[in-house]
Amino acid sequence: MKGVELKSGDLEGLFKGLLDKKAVDCLVLPHRVGNNVAYMMVTDKDKIESPVPAIFAPSFSVNAANVVKGWLIKEKIGIVAKPCEIRAAIELIKLKQMDKESVLLISVDCSGAFKNQDYADHAEEIGDWVDSAKIEELKGKGIAIREACEICDKRLADVGDIGIVKQDGDNVVVVGITDMGVEALSAIEDISLEDKDIDRSGETEKIAAEAKKKKEALPEISSVEALEEFLRDCIVCKNCREMCPVCYCKECFFEQPLGKPVGGDLLNIAELRGAIAVPANQLMYHLTRVYHVSTTCVGCGACEDACPKDIPLTRLYPVIAEKVQEIFEYVPGKDVEEPLPFTTYEEEELEDKLR
């Protein structure tokens, strides 16, 4: 693997170099907004701020893949984001919602993230990076990372075209994961690439073990009655759909008369059935969405963050999606060349799973 070791402060020059050498036409980068972190799109290299305080910050606002969903134009965009966001972008490429040749995906090591408000309220105490010990210390003070991050076992920057790996102290290693990534890094004059042998198997195993333990501790939803109780407060606002990076249909069924009955349509259904729950289609909406994203969900937790009723949707969508993905032996966002399960067919491919 080709890469280079840099000081964190050198990342500003790296991103400026990508723009200056036309490796990309614009960059989506995290940046500080007061005590919080958000994204900005930059086309002028002189407008790039130092990414050091923001790039590894354990804060989650929106999934960056959602920002560039539908990027089907010739201009090339670079996205610097957490692994779950890069994995979502890879799924969007496979779903034909982004053009592979027009996107440079740059993943950054993630330690887990806090909700924006929690991070803003405790930014000074949390800091720009947290390890597992710091996470437990903060949790003891009532400052917990998002549940989606607790059960995530894919926090390392090993997906996309370029990976930015955090080292001890102030160092980072920037590696080209794909040929496109190596080509982009090679275009920067101040960088000299060399072979880098990065073995992170131990770290991967530790993260996976911690995530599995957290996941097994989650309350189970084991019946329709339990699911109805779980979704009791849902107002079918569809915020979870809007903020989900891999939900992309141009015309959603739940914006059509049958999916979103109002007025006379609602009355007609009530007369047909004798009674109808209000809001209508609450359970159907979530079951349809679970099916819709079951293979492409990357467990980013944007759905839960978006819920105005604070329903812990991480216990529904990523948990069910993982079970479906296990059946198909599919890891979403791992490889842009790996076909989506539902776009390929093998006779009797699930026979052994159904016995």
Same domain assignment for residues 324 and 350: yes
Q: In Å, how far from its chain's centre is CA 288?
A: 20
Averaged confidence pLDDT in the chain? 91
Same domain assignment for residues 166 and 286: no
> Which of 195, 215, 235 is at the close of a domain?
215
Residue percentage of the chain with pLDDT more than 70: 96
Same domain assignment for residues 59 and 151: yes
> Which of 173, 190, 215 is at the close of a domain?
215
Q: DSSP code of 159?
A: S
Same domain assignment for residues 176 and 115: yes
* Pairing mode of beta strands 162-166, 171-176: antiparallel
Residues 6+ positions from 1 with CB-CB distance below 8 Å: 175, 176, 177, 195, 196, 197, 198
Same domain assignment for residues 150 and 292: no
Same domain assignment for residues 56 and 137: yes
Residues 6+ positions from 81 with CB-CB distance below 8 Å: 28, 30, 39, 63, 64, 65, 89, 106, 107, 108
Q: Kindly indicate the confidence band of residue 232, based on its pLDDT and cuts at 50, 70 and 90.
A: very high
The candidate with the shortest Cα–Cα distance to 314, out of 149, 154, 155, 156, is: 149
Q: In Å, how far from its chain's centre is CA 54?
A: 17
pLDDT average, residue stretch 2-19: 93
pLDDT tens-place string over residues 68-126: 998 989 999 999 999 999 999 999 999 999 999 999 999 999 999 999 899 999 999 99
Q: Kindly indicate the confidence band of residue 345, based on its pLDDT and cuts at 50, 70 and 90.
A: low
Same domain assignment for residues 229 and 126: no
> In whole angstroms, what is the distance from residue 233 CA to residue 286 CA?
13
pLDDT tens-place string over residues 195-230: 988 889 999 999 999 999 999 999 999 899 999 999
Same domain assignment for residues 185 and 296: no
**DSSP states along 260-300:** S--HHHHHHHHHHHS---SSTTHHHHHHHHHHHHTTT----
pTM of the prediction? Answer: 0.92
Domain that holds residue 131: 2-215
Residue 191, SS3 per DSSP: coil
Same domain assignment for residues 188 and 298: no
Q: Is the pLDDT of residue 344 over 80?
A: no
Same domain assignment for residues 12 and 126: yes
> In whole angstroms, what is the distance from residue 304 CA to residue 308 CA?
9
Contact 226, 66 (CB under 8 A): no
Q: Kindly indicate the confidence band of residue 349, based on its pLDDT and cuts at 50, 70 and 90.
A: low
Residue percentage of the chain with pLDDT more than 90: 71
**How many domains would you assign to the chain?**
2
Q: Kindly indicate the confidence band of residue 266, based on its pLDDT and cuts at 50, 70 and 90.
A: confident
Q: Kindly indicate the confidence band of residue 145, based on its pLDDT and cuts at 50, 70 and 90.
A: very high
Task: Please classify residue 348 by burial: count the beta carbons closer than 10 Å to its beta carbon, then call 0-12 exposed, 13-18 middle and 19+ buried.
Answer: exposed
